[in-house]
Each structure stands twice: as C-alpha cells, then as structure tokens.
Amino acid sequence: MFDLPDVATLRQCSILCSAAYTVVFFAMGAGGSWYRYWGWGAFSYCASLILAGLIGEPLPLWTLVLTDGVLSFSMALVLAGVRRFDGERGFVPWMWIVVAVTAVVPSVALTVVGAGAVAAAVWSLTMALSSFALAVPLIRNRATDGTARPRRLAGCLLSLYAPVYLTVAVGALVTQQLAQLLEAIPYLADQLLFGAANLALLWIPTARAQQQLRDTALRDPLTGLGNRAALAAGAAELLVPGRVALLIDVDRFKTINDRHGHAVGDRVLVAIADALRRSTGGDFVARLGGDEFLVVTDADDPTTAAEQIHRRAGRSEAGLPPWTLSIGAARIEPGDRSIDDVIQRADMLMYRAKDRGRTAAAA
C-alpha cells in the first residue's frame, strides 16, 4: 500500500497548488474582476499556509486569529468572485460575519480551555461550518445563463471540506493517536478539492460564453425571435399532435421597403415580432427569414388562433407605415413525420389567404 505523506509535505503541495492558481487567476484578471477575486482567494490560502509553516506549532494566539481569518477569507473570496461575475457586490455582511467568527471562535476556545483535544475539535468544527456556509449559495444557485452546473460543482467541492474537518474534529475528541493520524486528512483532501474547485470556477465564464454563443446561433439578430436553427433544434419537441402551426407573411413588404427604406422596414418587422411575442405568451415564435414568421401554439382551434394573431399583430403602430398580414394555420396531425410537413400545409393555406385578397387568415 501507499505510505501516507507527512503533514509538512502535504502542506507544501497545497502551497504550490494555490500559488499556481494565484498566477493563473491574476494572469486572467483583465478578463473580469472575478478572476482577481479568485486570484486573491488562492493567494490568501497560500499565504495562510506559508505563515503557519514558518511560525510552526503551536501557533501564537495572534497568529491563530490571523491564519484562521485569512483561511476563511480565502473561501469567502470564491463566493465573492461569483457574485462579481453576476454584476453584484462581492461581499455582503453575512460573509464578513462568517470570516470574523471563523477567526475568533477557535482562539477563544483555546484561551478558555487551553490547548488540547477540545480546542482542536472546536477549530475543526468552525472550519467545517465556515466552508459549508460559504458553499451553500453556490449549491443552491438558480442561474439561467448556462453556469448553474459549474457553480454547483464548485459549491459541492467547497462543501466537501465540511465532512473532512468534521472527521478531524471527531478524531480529536476520541484519542490523541487518532487525532495525529487524521491531522493530515485536510491537506490530503486539499490535493483533490482545491484544484477541482478552481477548475470549476474557470468553467463558469466558459459556460456562460458557450450559452451566449448558442443563444446567438438560435436567435434572429434583428427581432430577437428564434430562427430556422432554433426551429431545427426544437423540431421534435414542437411536433405534438393537436398543436397549431401558423405561418405569417407581411403583405407587400417589398413596397414598404421601397417607399420608406430598409431601416423603416426593419422597424416594422421588429414591431410585428414584439406583437407576436406578446400575443402568444410562451408559445414558440420564430422569424424564418425576410418577412415570414412562424408560431407554434397550443391553441384549440386554428381559425381562432389565426384571427387572434391577426388582430394583435396585424395592426399598424404610430410612426410606422401601415401593414397587413396573411396567415395560414395548420393543425399538427398524428401522422406528421416532421415539422416541415406542417409548415408546408400552413404555407399553402397562407397563399390561399393571399388569393382571397391578402389581409386574411386561412385554416
């Protein structure tokens, strides 16, 4: 079996790892202030280990307060960096309270009961509670920008320090021999948790950037509606028998562009898109290209759905030239094999509406 490394060796490994991440985060600092928060977090952890190693055991009371406070501060900086990433203030009062309690409580215990198993257990328990308290907001996050998973991963890894410190606390109260054996456990866990947690932090900005790229690829840049790529991506979910697909075309849109210019034509398309978005609620709305839009809705009756959209999106707005819409509404049938089949039927119905003299709906 492998021999368990001594505490000094493990501490040196933690120092080297935290120093490496300090360099990485500060090197990326130009990309956002959150990197500097995480860089100071890694630096603070590294500094607390170096200070404890240089002074040696037992630590003087003032040194214990300082190192414990800096250790908790390094964990708080992880959460503060994520808050800055969200555009919020890094530190809030309760975080400072956690840091202050972590710095003071072990020293108070040492002063009251003296050095020994109880003081060691109090130190480990305080560290466990500190790491868990600072990890909970990350674990319970409700981010919708694609970063929920890396945030939870970073929080879970940070929270795993809690059972590690709790194990040391229990060992300190059982026997001195067991306490000495478990002394290396936090540093041993550090070799996995510290590096993995920092990699999770680096994943957060990358995850948001990837989500933004996906959103951009699936959005029409003019109207903000979904595009054909979004239709292709959600085709399987949209193809539900009983739903209604409505194909909407702006009548004589070329004339609007020719008479008023393309900038005004774009404003008309945006106004129609906004009206469709408001009138359909949570239904799927996309601009398929040019002056053609698609709505997939759970409406019961195709004719009623078409007429409702016609009333709400077919009305001109102040400051814009008048426009009219032709709409074709087709119900999704159990035998439809693709959403394209439904759109094709809606397209035929839309042209039937145009044949009626435009400004009409057909279902």
**CA separation for the pair 238, 346 (Å, rounded):** 15
Instruction: State yes or no: pLDDT of 182 exceeds 80.
Output: no
* DSSP label at residue 2: P
Are residues 342 and 328 in contact, defined by beta-carbon separation less than 8 angstroms?
Answer: no
Give per-residue pLDDT as tens, 227-243. Answer: 999 999 999 999 999 99
Please name which of 247, 251, 335, 362 lies closest in space to residue 297, comparing C-alpha atoms.
Answer: 247
Instruction: State yes or no: pLDDT of 1 exceeds 70.
Output: no
Q: What is the reported pLDDT for 8?
A: 82
Top-confidence residue, 299 or 36 = 36
Give the pairing of strands 292-297 and 284-289.
antiparallel
**CA separation for the pair 236, 337 (Å, rounded):** 10
Read off the pTM: 0.80
DSSP labels, 111-166: HHH-SSHHHHHHHHHHHHHHHHHHHHHHHT----SS-HHHHHHHHHHHHTHHHHHH
Which band of pLDDT confidence, cut at 50, 70 and 90, is reported for residue 179?
Answer: low
**CA separation for the pair 157, 311 (Å, rounded):** 54
Q: What is the reported pLDDT for 296?
A: 93
Q: What is the reported pLDDT for 4?
A: 65
Least confident of 69-73, 160-164, 199-203, 301-305: 301-305
Instruction: State yes or no: pLDDT of 184 exceeds 80.
Output: no
Q: How far is Cα of residue 186 from the mean position of the Cα atoms in its chain?
A: 29
Q: What is the reported pLDDT for 363?
A: 55
Q: What is the reported pLDDT for 131?
A: 94
**CA separation for the pair 309, 287 (Å, rounded):** 15
Which band of pLDDT confidence, cut at 50, 70 and 90, is reported for residue 340?
Answer: very high
CA atoms within 13 A on the CB side of 302: 22
Q: Is the dihedral of CA 260, 262, 267, 269 positive or negative?
A: positive
Query: SS3 for 301?
Result: coil
Give the pairing of strands 292-297 and 325-331.
unpaired
CA atoms within 13 A on the CB side of 207: 18
